[in-house]
Amino acid sequence: MLRGMGFDKSTSIYLASGKIYNSQRNMQPLLEMFPRLQTKEMLASPEELEPFKNYSSRMAAVDYTVCLHSDVFVTTQGGNFPQMLLGHRRFLYGGHSRTIRPDKRKLALLFDNPRIVYVLEIYWSFCYLRL
């Protein structure tokens, strides 16, 4: 999706998440497309993360802070974390923060379509124009 919107290999991406199941295998395609992918564990030393590591809410606060001040925020889920971030970013940036919230229903229909390449090109062109 990000590639279709014009983000390339030089894009720095911060992945705000907890432990990812089988991350070596599951994250490989994303790492190939975006080699500058970062997590809090990559950016901070173990000593810096020590006061936070046994508290999931504190670790989430680190992610929240990084996402709050990012140039573009992309959310892929519902829930309190992205909703609070969306509102906070709107407040801080006067309603002019770049935020991408994909329509999951439309994406599911597109991914089920055998003509996905052509359809996705049209869809992402439309989305890009709306930003």
Angle between helices 116-130 and 104-112 (to 10 degrees): 160
- 39 and 76 share a domain? yes
- 89 and 53 share a domain? yes
Give pLDDT tens digits for 51-102.
998 998 999 899 999 989 988 888 877 788 888 988 999 999 888 888 888 8
- 43 and 96 share a domain? yes
- 95 and 108 share a domain? no
Do 33 and 9 meet the contact criterion of CB atoms below 8 Å apart?
yes
- 114 and 59 share a domain? no
Give pLDDT tens digits for 4-22.
788 888 988 888 876 776 7
Higher pLDDT: 112 or 114? It is: 112
Residue 120 has pLDDT above 90, yes or no: no
Host domain of residue 116: 103-131
Q: How far is residue 34's CA from residue 112's CA, in Å, rounded to a whole number? A: 24
In one-letter notation, the amino acid at residue 29 is P
Query: Is 0.75 topped by the overall pTM?
Result: no
Closest by CA position to 85, among listed 105, 107, 102, 100:
100
pLDDT at 31: 85
Q: How many domains does the chain have?
A: 2
